[in-house]
Chains A and B, each alone.
Chain A
């Protein structure tokens, strides 16, 4: 199968005019992001998205909306998540969809959903765009998990609407998008109350939900609309986003699909299915650095760092969902390291400008997406490459990096270099809160200090190796064989074992809510998703909706 140009490939590119499940209403510097899922608008046939339940199609739109609100609406200081349906907020991920999906799809779906929800929290925390949630009906499972991403949760107190995480009693699985973790880590719900909450199918309503810190306030219907609008205006008033500036437009991302190849303006993917390998090459800009902030803003989504971030994000998602058999990603760069560093410096110089800030935050999220991708990542640092500053993060995100030492006979390009910049020391942290270099040198702080001292130096292979910045350095005599053997060997291991091993090794150091969501929770969830009690013929997911009770194997593992 041609992985890249598969006919039913999932496409993450969308825009509000194409939305089936969400709409955005703007008033008073507030965006109302309204979930109104079209039951017949699922990604594939076989299930109906009733009661604002969702599948990947719904989440692709949410992802797009969250992104657009940041870039296209500098005037929006608060976003209210709410339901467009009477009497229900959201019933969570669609169970029949989960029941009929492959394990791989479920995991990919949960991961993407998690990433979008973290992006929502990132907007509140770093972007001056505070998310509030107006729970105007029952919010169950993923519906409540969506609410949990908001900085302020309002629950309508109509004696009927509840928030709930009914996964365990109802479905024999876990709330898979951070629900458990956010309860204890973000909402600081007491663990025994969380235990009761997570085993009570009908959930918790009104004042009790407030008392248990499941929501921030319970509001009677007669005061509902007014209070929601008021809270949103208050949050918007606290924002540092510029009310009088115009946003940029995120135009439809152009990409050219060829057999086994995918080409964007600054990024290409070449797939070799027989080798289980995709090679991703990122390139430096064709345009000169903008002369001024105004010029950068005028370039909009053509401005290189943003354009590249969008392309890389799309390529990662595309390969994750549509090419699961390509387990090995080779990361390459091409271009002038000075151009990368100049753009980094430009972003740094204008970091308080809303758009430059957004671009850096977006780059941060794309790199995080790479961190949690279940593919072996190998960075190849070759002559002609530009692993400098922000692009050097690719080498530090990779499970291994290999650098070409010296020159090839007949190639008059100068030797490969790796150049550190300030961007490697703060603005693109990983999910664990540390930079990739700090994570890399978790046990050796002196190495981090030495690396910092090398900022700005174009390090050739020996120096980079000496500083511990690359895994191996090979010269022309060894390069071709070593690389071939390394990649072949990697591709031969069990994909499952590699996924687990890489996820363990990538996130050294402290746990954060984010690492707990991706690590602890998804590992458990993915285990449960494989177990007969959930996924077997007599398990809870398969029997859901039939009324027939699942038959559990009561042995604890």
Chain B
């Protein structure tokens, strides 16, 4: 059995990292644990803490059977630390140390950079839980409520993974950072989360689905890049986290799909053909396609900001150091060092959008973003199939990458979703065509009424095709207390 396959389930913290023998780290984690539980109770889902939720819990790292489903009270969820099994003889796959044995300890010269990468990644995990904490009250079904909580507890568990790395490998600084992860609060003016998109509100379920589709997919890309890391514990940690992350994106992709399904069906039933007859569609109590497009515009553009600056020294440094690779680095066939390579990047030069060839090392953020955009394009195409099947003449479309940006080259200009540059006045006048207006928000908020009856769904969303863990349609995913 490779190292790391055995999971110790006996202690307070399930793990496959030998915590029982590692007194120093165990003590640090046990000291951190009460603060975490306090954070969960204060900032985790509002209500439902005593309810029994049909949750998936990771119990091992064997890809063929790593999880079990059962009813759990969320605060009693088995948050654990699970690293993918160690690959014997693993080498650093890229950068200046390519081919050297992967590090099992933090190299001193990269300590600060590595810690920063882990802290930034770690900060997003509790942030999304905080952003979504009010959604339980308006869940459109028990099925969706359970999915929300599944996402939440797994994000919480991912925080544990990152905190483990901080406490195990970064000494007193690491413990301090682990505490700080519990102190920052999404959207708080005085102690915000590190990244902008994680301080935005998730006001409704459409936002939640968009968030899990777009923003969690950025998380996936970042985890994929870190899974390539030459620092083996980080790589192993991220590889295992990715197995859970897939479900989060499934929730988003199918959530939006079910909303589209419901809207299209309702329009078909009512004989409405014009998707832009928003008033008529809204009279049906479903979410109109144009507002779905606007939400898409918002979440896509916010998420692009998470990829950072187009030309990034930090990304270059992290690659060169062997700490953060590219998406599927191990499948790429170039020299994995990129000293002489270039990469095309859209830039803003004198207020115009132009493509430039830049050194590939400096463009790593863009490379990851391009990989990301390809994935979400495929997802949007699947959504469009639902609309096409309903014979509605409407296509969802990703906005231009320069649209509505707060970070990077395009933060200084305004463009419409097609990439045409707008002056300040035109932007102000047309903004509500592109992004959800307060009226749109009010309409959606008005639809958000809870539906907690077994097997029933709110009127604006279709039921899923299959249940979680193959459960039947009227399965009681959450036993509300």
Across the interface, do B189 and A221 meet the contact criterion of CB distance under 8 Å? yes
B313 within 8 A of A: yes
Closest to B321 in A: A549
Across the interface, do A546 and B359 meet the contact criterion of CB distance under 8 Å? yes
Across the interface, do A220 and B190 meet the contact criterion of CB distance under 8 Å? yes
Residue-wise interface mask of B (401-441) relative to A, using a CB-CB cutoff of 8 A (1 in contact, 0 not): 00000000000000000000000000000000000000000
Closest to B115 in A: A202
Within 8 A of B (CB), among A533-557: 544-549
What residues of chain A lie closer than 8 Å to B191, measured between beta carbons? 158-159, 220
Partner among A158, A159, A549 whose Cβ is within 8 Å of the Cβ of B183: A159
Partner among A157, A546, A549 whose Cβ is within 8 Å of the Cβ of B362: A546
Across the interface, do A201 and B313 meet the contact criterion of CB distance under 8 Å? no
Partner among A200, A202, A547 whose Cβ is within 8 Å of the Cβ of B316: A547
Residue-wise interface mask of B (281-322) relative to A, using a CB-CB cutoff of 8 A (1 in contact, 0 not): 000000000000000000000000000000101011101110
A160 within 8 A of B: yes
In the bound assembly, the distance between CA atoms of A200 and B116 in angstroms comes to 12
What residues of chain B lie closer than 8 Å to A548, measured between beta carbons? 96, 316, 320, 339, 361
CB distance from A96 to the nearest CB of B (A): 10
In the bound assembly, the distance between CA atoms of A221 and B361 in angstroms comes to 35
In the bound assembly, the distance between CA atoms of A549 and B320 in angstroms comes to 7
Across the interface, do A221 and B190 meet the contact criterion of CB distance under 8 Å? yes
B192 within 8 A of A: yes
B64 within 8 A of A: no
In the bound assembly, the distance between CA atoms of A553 and B184 in angstroms comes to 42
Within 8 A of A (CB), among B187-227: 189-192, 194
Across the interface, do A159 and B96 meet the contact criterion of CB distance under 8 Å? no
Across the interface, do B112 and A202 meet the contact criterion of CB distance under 8 Å? yes
Across the interface, do B362 and A222 meet the contact criterion of CB distance under 8 Å? no
In the bound assembly, the distance between CA atoms of A200 and B115 in angstroms comes to 12
Across the interface, do A547 and B317 meet the contact criterion of CB distance under 8 Å? yes
Residue-wise interface mask of B (336-379) relative to A, using a CB-CB cutoff of 8 A (1 in contact, 0 not): 00010000000000100000000101101000000000000000
With A159-B180, A545-B362 as contacts: A202 and B116 at CB distance below 8 Å: yes
What residues of chain A lie closer than 8 Å to B180, measured between beta carbons? 159
CB distance from B350 to the nearest CB of A (A): 7
Interface size on B, residues (CB 8 A): 26
Closest to B194 in A: A160
What residues of chain A lie closer than 8 Å to B361, measured between beta carbons? 546-548
In the bound assembly, the distance between CA atoms of A549 and B319 in angstroms comes to 10
A40 within 8 A of B: yes
Across the interface, do A546 and B190 meet the contact criterion of CB distance under 8 Å? no
CB distance from A366 to the nearest CB of B (A): 39
With A40-B350, A159-B183, A201-B112 as contacts: A547 and B189 at CB distance below 8 Å: no
What residues of chain B lie closer than 8 Å to A221, measured between beta carbons? 189-190, 192
In the bound assembly, the distance between CA atoms of A157 and B192 in angstroms comes to 10
In the bound assembly, the distance between CA atoms of A201 and B321 in angstroms comes to 15
Which of A157, A169, A220, A546 has most chain B Cβ within 10 Å? A546
In the bound assembly, the distance between CA atoms of A544 and B339 in angstroms comes to 13
Partner among A40, A201, A547 whose Cβ is within 8 Å of the Cβ of B319: A547
Residue-wise interface mask of A (143-173) relative to B, using a CB-CB cutoff of 8 A (1 in contact, 0 not): 0000000000000011110000000010000
In the bound assembly, the distance between CA atoms of A142 and B469 in angstroms comes to 58
Closest to A223 in B: B190
Residue-wise interface mask of B (108-148) relative to A, using a CB-CB cutoff of 8 A (1 in contact, 0 not): 00001100100000000000000000000000000000000
Across the interface, do B183 and A545 meet the contact criterion of CB distance under 8 Å? no
Partner among B190, B316, B321 whose Cβ is within 8 Å of the Cβ of A222: B190
Residue-wise interface mask of B (162-203) relative to A, using a CB-CB cutoff of 8 A (1 in contact, 0 not): 000000000000000000100110000111101000000000
What residues of chain B lie closer than 8 Å to A169, measured between beta carbons? 112
Across the interface, do A547 and B190 meet the contact criterion of CB distance under 8 Å? no
In the bound assembly, the distance between CA atoms of A200 and B111 in angstroms comes to 10
In the bound assembly, the distance between CA atoms of A220 and B189 in angstroms comes to 8
What residues of chain A lie closer than 8 Å to B317, measured between beta carbons? 547, 549
In the bound assembly, the distance between CA atoms of A158 and B190 in angstroms comes to 5
In the bound assembly, the distance between CA atoms of A546 and B361 in angstroms comes to 6
Across the interface, do A547 and B194 meet the contact criterion of CB distance under 8 Å? no
CB distance from A46 to the nearest CB of B (A): 14
Closest to A208 in B: B176
Partner among B183, B184, B362 whose Cβ is within 8 Å of the Cβ of A547: B362
In the bound assembly, the distance between CA atoms of A547 and B313 in angstroms comes to 6
In the bound assembly, the distance between CA atoms of A545 and B116 in angstroms comes to 18
CB distance from B18 to the nearest CB of A (A): 31
Within 8 A of B (CB), among A202-249: 202, 220-222
Closest to A221 in B: B189
In the bound assembly, the distance between CA atoms of A547 and B192 in angstroms comes to 29
CB distance from B318 to the nearest CB of A (A): 8
Residue-wise interface mask of A (184-205) relative to B, using a CB-CB cutoff of 8 A (1 in contact, 0 not): 0000000000000000111000
What residues of chain B lie closer than 8 Å to A544, measured between beta carbons? 313
CB distance from A194 to the nearest CB of B (A): 17
CB distance from A61 to the nearest CB of B (A): 20
What residues of chain A lie closer than 8 Å to B194, measured between beta carbons? 159-160
Across the interface, do B339 and A159 meet the contact criterion of CB distance under 8 Å? no
CB distance from B430 to the nearest CB of A (A): 23
Which of B112, B184, B321, B339 has most chain A Cβ within 10 Å? B112
In the bound assembly, the distance between CA atoms of A546 and B358 in angstroms comes to 10
What residues of chain A lie closer than 8 Å to B189, measured between beta carbons? 220-222
Q: List 17 A-B contacts (CB under 8 A).
A: A157-B190, A158-B191, A159-B184, A160-B192, A202-B112, A544-B313, A546-B316, A546-B362, A547-B315, A547-B316, A547-B319, A547-B359, A547-B364, A548-B96, A548-B316, A548-B339, A549-B317
Chain A interface (Cβ within 8 Å of chain B)?
Answer: 40, 157-160, 169, 200-202, 220-222, 544-549
Sample of 19 more A-B contacts, CB < 8 Å, known A202-B112, A547-B316, A549-B317: A40-B350, A159-B183, A159-B191, A159-B192, A160-B192, A160-B194, A169-B112, A220-B191, A221-B190, A222-B190, A545-B311, A545-B313, A545-B316, A545-B362, A546-B361, A546-B362, A547-B361, A547-B362, A548-B339
